[in-house]
Structure 1
Amino acid sequence: MGMGKTPGSDDENEGVFAEINITPLTDVMLVLLIIFMVTSTVIVQQGPGGGVKTGLKVNLPKGGAADVTARTTDLSVAVLADGRFVVSGNVVSQDELKKAFEQARGQNPDTVVIVQADEGVPHGTVVQVMELAKKAGLAQLAIGVREGE
């Protein structure tokens, strides 16, 4: 806090002049806020395992009607209750499914693979289809659900 003469004052009419400049304080606080926001975002994204073993970010399906809208470039894979794979209405083997994924990757690298599995299909089979798609270079995966109540 600075004390001095009021501008334009006479010697006989002296007063105390106190002024606080808050601009540097505001600048420092904004810089600290930005640093805090950036570092907290990095810490949250790394997770407890240091970012190496945190896995994928997954938005769990809610069963709504508008979760996934299929485009013409998307590839839909149905997994039947007995474990068979269906692509474009044809029952295919695991090797044919790999070829279909590679062909879809060749046509459009941004192809979304929509896995439509029967309720009775084991989780491992769905994961197997997703891993085949990832190995073929198709990283965008979605799970098809029916409309919820």
Structure 2
Amino acid sequence: MGMGKTPGSDDGSEDGVFAEINITPLTDIFLVLLIIFMVTSSVIVQQGPGGGAKAGLKVNLPKGGAADVTARTTDLSVAVLADGRFMLAGNVVSQDELQQAFDDARQKDEETVVIVQADEGVPHGTVVQVMELAKKAGLAQLAIGVREGE
């Protein structure tokens, strides 16, 4: 059987050309690529630009006035979860890692704003602890993330 010939025609005639293409594997590949694209795009949307204030963290912020701080890409957004854990750019970090991130941010840009997004149930002392870590690193511009009230 020669390539490009109709199966079963071994006589060498050029009468039938085998022109079928099996597109099932091609369709499977496209579906896998579509799923990968959908998953990665949703992760990118949740993280936001530079892990800023809209980093997709599920924190129950207290209500407050209208937001008057606009997050820049150089700003650090620290979330304090209800159980007291710290999150930076979507990752749970220890107090030492948070201090190191503040030091690194100070070296890159002294005007970095630290936005603290604390859950409503977090004790006041934990928020103050994060703010003291930022001030110790030399970051004097601090903001508290709230959700807009009525």
- Shorter-chain TM band: 0.5 to 0.7
How far the C-alpha of 1:133 sits from its partner, in A, is 0.3
In the alignment, structure 2 segments of 5+ residues that lack a partner are 1-61
2:64 match: secondary structure: coil
Give the match for residue 140 of structure 1: 141
Compared CA separation, residues 89 and 147, structure 1 to 2 (3 A): same
SS in structure 2 of the partner of residue 142 of structure 1? strand
TM-score between both structures, scaled by the size of structure 1 = 0.57
State the alpha-carbon separation in 2 of the partners of residues 62 and 91 from structure 1. Answer: 24
* 2:82–2:122 contact (8 Å) kept in structure 1: yes
Unaligned runs of 5+ in 1: 1-60
- Name the counterpart of 2:92: 91
For these two proteins, the number of residue pairs brought into alignment is: 89
> Following the alignment from structure 1 to structure 2, what is the Cα–Cα distance between the partners of residues 132 and 85?
12
Q: Deviations over 1:97-141 (max 9, x none)?
A: 000000100100010000000000000000000000000000000
Q: Deviations over 1:17-75 (max 9, x none)?
A: xxxxxxxxxxxxxxxxxxxxxxxxxxxxxxxxxxxxxxxxxxxx982333221111110
* Partner in structure 2 of residue 48 of structure 1: none
Contact 2:114–2:139 (CA<8 Å) still a contact in 1? yes
SS of 1:121 mapped into structure 2: coil
1:74 and 2:95 equivalent? no
Q: CA RMSD in A?
A: 1.5
Tell whether 2:116 aligns with 1:125: no
Task: Give the partner amino acid of 2:109.
Answer: N
Is the partner of 1:106 in helix, strand or coil? Answer: helix
SS of aligned partner of 1:81: coil
1:28-107 aligned at under 5 Å gives the runs 63-107=64-108
The 2-side partners of 1:65 and 1:98 are apart by 29
Q: 2:113 maps to what in 1? A: 112
TM-score by length of 2: 0.57
